[in-house]
Amino acid sequence: MSFEQAGLHLLYAGRYVDSDFSTSRIAYHLISTPSSPTYVAAVVEYNPDTGAPGDATTDIVSKNVANYVLHIRKAAEQDADIIVFPECGLVTYVSGTSYATPLPSPEDLVTPCTDTSSNVTEAIRTLSCEARTQSIYVVVNVPEVAPCPNASRNCVLYYNSNVVFDRNGTVVARYRKFNLFGEAGFSTTPEAEISILDTDFGVKFGIFTCFDLLFEKPAVQLVKEWGVTDIIFPTAWFSELPFLTAVEAQASWAYGFDVNFLAAGYDTPSVGSAGSGIYAGKDGPLLTVMPTVPTTRLLVARLLKKKSQSSQSTLSYAGNNSKPLTYSNIFSSRIDGTKSRLRMMRDYLEPYETLLLDEGDCFIERRLCHNELCCDFQVVMHTDQRDRDTSVKDYVYRLVVFDGIRSYTYLTAGVQICAVVSCINSSLSSCGYEFERPEESAFRAVFDYIHISGNFRVDNSTQLPATLVHGYGVLSPDTFQFTREEIPEKGEVRIDMKTKSQHSNLLTFAVYGRDFLKDGGPVTKPSGTVRNNAASVSLLLSVAVFLCVRSHY
């Protein structure tokens, strides 16, 4: 079969210097075309060069630009059609607006590499040239400076912006972040921008950034109103247990909306930022990384175009059709017992209605309600008795339900949640935490079956499956089922989420819902009642069947 028959095109991409700067050679690589059934994407988990104390911002940016150039070349070697870099990667968290650049409007089709009249920074010009040389789409996040609309010439605004260069180095898309997470000094547009990248390989990408993931505009709009099936997501995420760790949130959104999802994460674990991945919608993650130590890693995978997907996908979990690439030797996995340096925030679980599951063999069928949301749980679990070391600490679990308003630090948001979550002891205040020494803890509770169901509000809302396992990975999509059935006459949607196999290292199994109409309201306070265990539960609710006994072995 020829390249053309496979929907590919062999492209001469110019001359470049190898990553060790030792030799130069001619670069050829395959690019996808509109007729290709797939395309190749790259994302970068990037630990930025923050420079030495006293270094000028321009010097720091220059070092990061040089690193970006090497990643672009490595991605091109893997035949990547597009590469996505994280939020804040060029200028770092601390630089803020100090290296802001003007950005051309995509409508003007400016190519900074060759257009000397363009007043962009040298970093933008360099990256435009590299996109042009390697013939690859490049997505970069930068602080943008722009004149105030309808104001004097001395007035400027700063935006947290993504800029996209096409294979010619031309600026073909720009997105200004709408939902800022604090970010002093930055402004937002009056309305959320709808930014769609139309590529030469027949895929249209919606673009949004980090905190936007949790809101209706523009993220949900891109899928529901504009029919976008592929997402570009630069992020500098602050992970939060038990529902919003980085890879967990990315996989949840990709699965819930069944979109190809390219997430590139800023990597500074000491402040809670880490996590990148390439996701194939309901087919799950192809490649992910969630480091606990500073890490730079390039992920490259081949994705099936959504418009050509059949009911029997050719993609498989864990990326059998992907091409992983890493050239960092400092990557560490939490599973190997390495002490975590990844700082985690914790959701405020105290207002939740909860029920502690007894240790030991257990069957429980239970309804829990909080405000207007009722969740039905069926749980079958047992304890693995093979490890009897009494010095090892076990995780315990609670059923939790919440229908209210929570704080996202800088604003409040409506949330509806039904979940099973892990805890480090029997108190609710211990849920959403991990043992400090993983080697001295164990997951001896084995879940044979979990089924969660509930009726959620359907208008101005989303409901997504959130799963998390030890090591900050997520469940394979072939090990659980998530379905939704709208009930128009009630203005509700019924959600069912159930396991399809045993799980023994579970941290979170949840339906995570957002109720956008409640955004901005006062935070829901605790009621003062906490269910301690299944044996002490009141029978006030109509459905209650449980049998939780300690093992006799």
The yes-or-no answer on residue 87 being catalytic is yes
Q: DSSP states of 123-167 as a string?
A: HHHHHHHHHHHHT-EEEEEEEEEEEPTTS-TT-EEEEEEEEEE-T
What is the model's pLDDT at position 439? 67
The yes-or-no answer on residue 372 being catalytic is no
Q: Give 460-474 as a 3 state SS string.
A: CEEEEEEEEECCCEC
Residues paired with 412 in a beta bridge: 407
* Overall size of the chain counted in residues: 553
What is the model's pLDDT at position 540? 34
Q: What is the gyration radius of the CA atoms in the chain, in angstroms?
A: 24
The single residue of 45, 74, 87, 248 carrying the catalytic annotation is 87
Structure-derived torsion over alpha carbons of residues 444, 450, 456, 458, reported in degrees to the nearest 10: 110
Compute the distance between CA of residue 79 and CA of residue 33 in angstroms, rounded to an integer.
12
What is the model's pLDDT at position 27? 54
Half-sphere exposure of 251 (CA within 13 A, CB side): 31
Residues paired with 182 in a beta bridge: none
What is the model's pLDDT at position 386? 66
Q: Could you list the beta-strand ranges (E) of 500-543.
A: 506-515
Residue whose C-alpha is closest to residue 551's, from 394, 383, 380: 383
Compute the distance between CA of residue 339 and CA of residue 414 in angstroms, rounded to an integer.
34
What is the model's pLDDT at position 378? 98
What is the model's pLDDT at position 543? 41
% of residues, the chain, pLDDT over 70: 83
The yes-or-no answer on residue 217 being catalytic is no
Q: What is the end-to-end Cα distance of the chain in Å, rounded?
A: 62
The answer to whether residues 235 and 256 touch, using CB atoms and an 8 Å cutoff, is no
| Domains of the chain, start order | 39-336 (3.60.110.10), 348-549 (no CATH)
The single residue of 210, 374, 431, 548 carrying the catalytic annotation is 210
Half-sphere exposure of 94 (CA within 13 A, CB side): 14
**Which residues of the chain fall below pLDDT 50?**
2-3, 12-26, 308-340, 534-546, 549-553
Q: Which helix (H) or strand (E) holds 72?
A: helix 57-77
pTM of the model: 0.88
What is the model's pLDDT at position 333? 35
What is the model's pLDDT at position 130? 98
**3-class DSSP assignment, residue 73:** helix
Residue whose C-alpha is closest to residue 416's, from 520, 518, 526: 518
The answer to whether residues 525 and 493 touch, using CB atoms and an 8 Å cutoff, is no
What is the model's pLDDT at position 550? 37
Compute the distance between CA of residue 97 and CA of residue 552 in angstroms, rounded to an integer.
63
What is the model's pLDDT at position 357? 95
Instruction: Convert the pLDDT of each residue in 73-101 to its tens digit.
Output: 999 999 999 999 999 999 987 777 888 99
The answer to whether residues 164 and 204 touch, using CB atoms and an 8 Å cutoff, is no
What is the model's pLDDT at position 16? 36
What is the model's pLDDT at position 25? 38
The answer to whether residues 343 and 271 touch, using CB atoms and an 8 Å cutoff, is yes
